[in-house]
Amino acid sequence: MRAQSQHAVRSAARIVVKVGSSSISGENAGQIAPLVDALAEAHSRGTEVILVSSGAIAIGMPYLQLQERPTDLATQQAAASVGQNLLIFRYQDSLDRYDIVAGQVLLTASDLDNATHRGNAQRAMERLMALRILPIVNENDTVATHEIRFGDNDRLAALVAILIGADLLVLLSDVDALYTCPPHLPGAERISHVASGDPLVGMEFGATKVNGVGTGGASTKISAARIAAQAGTAVLVTATGLVAEALRGEPVGTWFEPSAAPSALRLP
């Protein structure tokens, strides 16, 4: 069932939730538990949930004595190697409260570009969900190169949503919704609904670096939302702290209406 309006969220059969590095690392590490609470609530009503989570590099940084996100690929890979293990452990430690088991899925852009790899990834996630395992997807930063990186996990989440035919994609960030201009500026107004194909003319969005640990911003959310919505998946953009309300279908965030005539699947 495709979620055509926010009221239909609770009946969505398959949901992809994406969370960024800054929302679950450093001083925000405590947000993992309430995020898991919300995912478990949806899982308990029979919804198939996939989590796309950034954070491996950010979580690995302190163990490499790094104060800021590294800029060279080799150090990023090293930090990801350390951090990915800790990231999954933290999720599983929280999921244990609900007797839910996580399954790790690491992807590179080339995996979705290759029909065989793409099919394998799809089958693996389908099987995990059929077994009531909660797949946790991340970019495979340990082996990804600058040329093949997804660029941000918002786009990865959109592609995963398309790959598995999700009814809804929830993109979480540090801001409660999209605004007509950066929310700290005078005159910024919340955008509650984006109609299918709306070009958002006159809006001012930009990409930002967040807390020195991740890249992202409104522009990446909008780009990812368009990818998913054009393929027929509804999208909700909201704050990590509002994820429980979002998954209950409450009127939070910015809703991107899915296309009534979805485009054919186009992966990188």
The 3-state DSSP class for residue 77 equals helix
Task: Report the distance separating Cα 7 and Cα 40, nearest Å.
Answer: 20
Task: Report the distance separating Cα 201 and Cα 69, nearest Å.
Answer: 34
| 161 touches 228 (CB < 8 A) | yes
Structure tokens that stand for 125 in this block: 């996630």
Q: Is 211 annotated as a binding residue?
A: no
Contacts of 41 (CB under 8 A, 6+ apart): 244, 247, 248
Q: Is 72 annotated as a binding residue?
A: no
Q: Is 153 annotated as a binding residue?
A: yes
| 188 touches 157 (CB < 8 A) | no
Q: Is 192 annotated as a binding residue?
A: no
| 194 touches 257 (CB < 8 A) | yes
DSSP string, 181-245: S-TTSTT--EE-EE-TT---TT----EEEETTTEEEEHHHHHHHHHHHHHTT-EEEEEEGGGHHH
Q: Is 120 annotated as a binding residue?
A: no
Distance of CA 265 to the CA centre of its chain: 19
List residues forming the annotated binding site for substrate. 54, 141, 153
List residues forming the annotated binding site. 18, 54, 141, 153, 173-174
List residues forming the annotated binding site for ATP. 18, 173-174
